[in-house]
Copies of this chain bind each other. A is one copy, B any other.
Amino acid sequence: MARAASTKGNTRIQRQKTRQILDAALEVFSTYGFRGSTIDQIAAQAGLSKPNILYYFDGKEAIHRVLLDRLLHTWLEPLEHLGESDNPVDEICAYVTRKLEMSRDYPRESRLFANEILQGAPNIIAELQGPLKSLTDEKCRLIQSWIDAGKIAPLDPHHLIFSIWSTTQHYADFDVQVQAVLGHAGEDRFTAAQTHLDHLFRGMLTPRLDHDV
């Protein structure tokens, strides 16, 4: 009985072809979004025939679902690592650096996520309201405790996290624009970005004495 369905990587060939297809699909979906992508595009990208793609996956949507599932796991991980520390400013900056590295190393995943959110997150809205919200709320309580202890400047934890997400992912999602504006001088743009973001968040997080209230 065929119908390999989702990720049943039993045989050698199954494992290889499944990975091959998912990699091609990530490339295509992250660029054109779900509705803008075609199975033929994925097949061409993977160097396989269309029916062959559909031999391993139960359809376009099934491929997309697998990619999104993997994505969410990868995406939440860095935030999970945000934990207690003697130096909260360094701890948060390390998170910023980690997120920026992910934008550099996994830009396609970042764009896939961006595409899904842009389109109203039809397939991951539940995960956003569930696991993502829970994890975020938890980390926000941690950040709030740092604020209460006077270890970092007082600011809204949720919006701080939004700022971290947006500034770091920008270098993956808007890479074309970044390159266009920086011109060819932007060779080491990730190094420059890292320095900049470290300054930005360090400057904002470090508590000030000239602050009343």
A interface list, Cβ under 8 A from B: 31-37, 111, 114-115, 117-121, 125, 128-129, 132-133, 136-137, 153, 155-156, 158-163, 165-167, 169-171, 173-174, 176-178, 180-183, 192-193, 195-197, 199-200, 203-204, 208
The quantity of this chain's copies bound in the complex is: 2
Closest chain-B Cβ to A211's Cβ sits at a distance in Å of 10
Inter-chain CA distance A132–B181, complex, in Å, is 7
Known contacts A32-B119, A119-B31, A170-B166: A128-B192 contact under CB 8 Å: no
Inter-chain CA distance A115–B170, complex, in Å, is 13
- Is B160 touching A196 in the complex (CB atoms < 8 A)? yes
Closest chain-B Cβ to A35's Cβ sits at a distance in Å of 3
Q: Which of B158, B180, B183 contacts A181 (CB 8 A)?
A: B158
SS class, residues of chain A in contact with chain B: helix
- Is B176 touching A165 in the complex (CB atoms < 8 A)? no
- Is B120 touching A192 in the complex (CB atoms < 8 A)? no
Which residues in B have their C-beta under 8 angstroms from that of A174? 114, 117-118, 162, 165-166
> What are 29 residue pairs bridging A and B, where the CB atoms are less than 8 Å apart in the complex?
A31-B119, A31-B120, A32-B33, A33-B119, A35-B35, A35-B37, A36-B36, A114-B174, A117-B176, A118-B118, A125-B180, A128-B176, A128-B177, A128-B180, A129-B183, A132-B181, A133-B183, A137-B181, A156-B195, A158-B182, A162-B193, A163-B167, A163-B170, A163-B197, A165-B170, A165-B174, A166-B170, A199-B204, A200-B204
Which residues in B have their C-beta under 8 angstroms from that of A169? 166
- Is B111 touching A118 in the complex (CB atoms < 8 A)? yes
Nearest residue (CB) in B for A175 is: B117
Inter-chain CA distance A115–B118, complex, in Å, is 8
Known: A31-B119, A35-B36, A125-B176. 15 other contacts (CB 8 A): A31-B120, A33-B119, A35-B35, A36-B36, A118-B118, A129-B183, A133-B181, A159-B196, A162-B167, A162-B181, A163-B167, A163-B196, A163-B197, A199-B204, A203-B204
